[in-house]
Structure 1
Amino acid sequence: MYFELNKFIEEAIVERAGSLFEKDLALSGKLLRERIQDRSLLVIGGAGTIGSSFIKAALHYNPKRLYVIDNDENGLTELVRDIRSSFNLPADFEIKTYPIDFGDPVFEKILINEGPFEIVANFAAHKHVRSEKDPYSIEAMLHNNIIKAKRLLDLLCIHKPEHFFCVSTDKAANPVNVMGASKKIMEYLILAYSSKIKITTARFANVAFSNGSLLFGFTQRLMKNQPLSSPSNIKRYFVSPQESGQLCLLACITGENGDIFFPKLGEENMKTFAEIAEKYLHKLGFTPEHCQSEQEAIQKAQQLNAGSKTYPVYFFTSDTSGEKTFEEFFTDEEELDTNSFSQLGIIKNAARLPLEEMDVIVQNIEAIFKDDKVSKSDIIAKLKEILPSFHHIETGKSLDQRM
């Protein structure tokens, strides 16, 4: 079943040979090298798909030191193996990885003892819509995406980098789920701190086959002879893992303070997960066999053998909470710069709140969880008070109730 996944992503998902940002990288090449060469990088959440792609994009410009923070110890091990197997690194290049949480007290010791770091990028985030299924998961999400992000910003005001990047999401534009709302509040937070340090961020599309994504799940299901299942009515933009890292690098290094970057993709670039599932199976030599229920799909998957030419799929109309049927990178009220880059747009002068007001907002979020009995609906009501643009979609169903 193995084939070159990168080629499939290029041909069937993003439908372009080479990177979307190839021209922008070329035009910014001199500036990127000037600002990265011989510098030190600290990448938080660097073992994930986007963080590791950012690192690989940056390594082309010869940084001197790379420090990576991630609580995924196995992911860090693979990252080092991957880097040392892919790059002809100079003998004096320094790479260190730390399997810790950036919210732990030990993290500050790294800033104090191993810094200064000219470039700091934070990719540590709860990124799944499914993580809003209950108050416990929501608390962990808001703690990671907002509260720990604020602590990091407070530390960086003491140990100031030349460039700080914190990843956002397209779901922050007109949010309908808690993850998007948490990232919109995070955007307000980093913009409030932009008066103290240089900060940029990016909203971008789904990263094809990123760790934990639905497309990544397709690969896992195939390896285990399990059916493919996906909503049929959810449209998304996609970028390749390589493009995700390049987008974040361009935003981090070339962006002006407070800029929010996004890829220039039109509605014609959107695809449904069901469409990709069928293309994936065709690429592997299978004909999709459409099933009417999860149970039917599971039964037919159990009958698969080495000679099978069909593969069971179950496609359904999405009915889970927080699921927007389409994707958008900006709102009508936001000021756009679509001329500075070939394939990147920038939201300029984004709405922001005073730092003092953000301090109160974060304190209010922390206060929500002092009540051990707080419910999901209570949390969402509080978030709507903080973020009037948050229009939550609640159906009473979670993605954990789907295959």
Structure 2
Amino acid sequence: MIVGGGQAGTLLIKELKSSDKSKAEPVCIIDDDGAKIGKYINGVPIKGNCRDIPQVADSMAIDEIYIAMPAASVADRKRVLEACQKTGIQMKILPGIYQLANGDVSVTRLRNVRIEDLLGREPVQVSLDEIMDYVQGKVVLVTGGGGSIGSELCRQLASHGVKQLIIFDMYENNAYDIQQELIRNYPYLDLVVLIGSVRNTNRLDSVFRTYHPDIVYHAAAHKHVPLMEESPNESIKNNVVGTYKTAKAAIKYRTERFILISTDKAVNPTNIMGASKRICEMIIQMCNQKGSTIFAAVRFGNVLGSNGSVIPLFKKQIEEGGPVTVTHKDIIRYFMTIPEAVSLVLQAGAYAKGGEIFILNMGEPV
């Protein structure tokens, strides 16, 4: 079954009929344009609209559903995917509009449906080039720079002309991975990778005294909610004390800007991790009044694909045949992608006047 009788669907049918690579045989098309129903594209009948997907799939013994709607809005795609899900049949999707623009609609471009396809929100577009002037020619320190958010921050900073990029992380494996990637992709970048903990006053003092960072992105934190419930002292030591010590060093060495990575769990916190991050926010708002450094925080929800996000856990559980464990039946989650989260952090750094907590509008909750 091909869902989408437009240009992409037509090209896909052509490709399926002529390709030696694919054994797939298109037998029907689904399209929401009522005027097309009953007609044919390249000999393949248009059998109905999206509401008819389960019934048509059943009556025609469909094995696979290919979704060819690259120009559709995220909300429309979500509606189609939900209709297809009811069939239990394997789905594949053409990712984006750019394939249409390049005329590159082919079987090889089809990919499995990912969880982010079901989120029903357009990606947040931030024009980083317009707001990244403030990092050019600056010495930038990223604490927790080997983590999922920290490492993406480092990638985007590396591509925007920083004078020197310092990665500070307590986990050597993470730090090594991002170091090797940046050396490969940005051979001329002045990159310094340091191992150490934000809990260590002397180590922090040595880093700030040696490199005098102009901008600090503070991403170092413990963030797994259930683990922090079991080890609350570690959560407070790493998140609260670590943030306090890093902020104090920033004030002492006259850092220009300090951006804290926070979480929506800091709002009326119901767990230790959220409470620790709320204290971090209060610390940087206090520190904002103490010296010349501009302090601000950025909050976001679940970040797709980040370490500690619920999504990799759900995927693993589904692949293993279930069950999928949800913390509570009434839980509400807001999701975003890693590049979205990082572009928000960079944007906040540009807009910060001091003491703000920036929050991304993350669309509809799931």
Is the TM value for this pair above 0.5?
A: yes
1:101 match: 197
- Corresponding residue for 1:61? 160
Q: Secondary structure at the match of 1:199?
A: strand
Match of 1:70 among 158, 165, 169: 169
Once the two structures are TM-superposed, the CA of residue 250 in structure 1 deviates from its matched residue by 0.9
Query: Would the alpha carbon gap of residues 6 and 174 (structure 1) be closer, same or farther in structure 2, given more than 3 Å must change?
Result: farther
1:285: which partner in 2?
none
**Structure 1: distance between partners of 2:316 and 2:353:** 40
Q: Secondary structure at the match of 1:229?
A: coil
Q: Corresponding residue for 1:254?
A: 351
Number of residue equivalences: 255
Deviations 1:250-304 (A, max 9, x none): 11232221111111134xx212xxxxxxxxxxxxxxxxxxxxxxxxxxxxxxxxx
Note the alpha carbon deviations across 1:83-135, whole angstroms, 9 max, x for none: 344x4x363x211212221222223212112x21111111111212213433x
Q: Percent identity?
A: 27
Question: Where do 4+ consecutive residues of structure 1 move more than 6 Å?
Answer: 3-7
Shift of 1:245: 0.8
Aligned partner (choices 213, 230, 233) of residue 117 of structure 1:
213
Equivalent position to 1:227, from 296, 302, 322: 322
Shift of 1:7: 7.8
2:364 matched to 1:264? no
2:341 is aligned, of 234, 241, 244, to 244
> Aligned-pair distance for 1:14?
5.7
Q: Are 2:129 and 1:36 equivalent residues in the alignment? A: no
Once the two structures are TM-superposed, the CA of residue 212 in structure 1 deviates from its matched residue by: 2.8
8 Å contact kept, 2:314–2:325: no
RMSD over aligned Cα atoms: 2.7
TM-score when normalising by structure 1? 0.58
CA pair 218-116 structure 1, distance change in 2 beyond 3 A: same
Superposed counterparts of 1:355-374, under 5 Å:
none
* Residues 108/148 of structure 1: CA separation in 2 closer, same or farther (3 Å cut): same
Partners of 1:125 and 1:206 lie apart in 2 by 15
Pick one of 112, 117, 123 that aligns with 1:11.
117
Q: 2:252 aligns with which of 158, 167, 177?
A: 158
1:210-245: CA deviation from partner (whole Å, max 9, x where unpaired)? 11322122455577x463522154220100011111
Return the index of the structure with the highest Cα Rg.
2
2:298 is matched with 202
Give the CA deviation at 1:175: 1.4
Structure 1 residues 6 and 200: CA distance shift in structure 2, 3 A: farther
User: Are the counterparts in 1 of residues 135 and 161 from structure 2 also a CA contact under 8 Å?
Assistant: yes
1:168 to 262, 270, 294: 262
TM-superposed CA distance for 1:74, in Å, is: 0.8
Matched letter for residue 191 of structure 2? I
- The 1-side partners of 2:336 and 2:166 are apart by 26
Between 1 and 2, higher relative CO (CA 8 Å, sep ≥ 6) is seen in 1
Name the CA distance, whole Å, in 2 between partners of 1:151 and 1:32: 27
Q: Structure 1 unaligned runs (5+)?
A: 272-403
CA displacement at 1:13 relative to structure 2: 3.0
Counterpart of 1:217, as a letter, is L
- Name the counterpart of 1:82: 181
For 1:36, the aligned partner's letter is V
> Which whole-Å CA distance do the structure 2 matches of 1:6 and 1:211 have between them?
22
- 1:187-222 deviation per Cα after TM superposition (whole angstroms, max 9, x unaligned): 111101101221011111110121132212245557
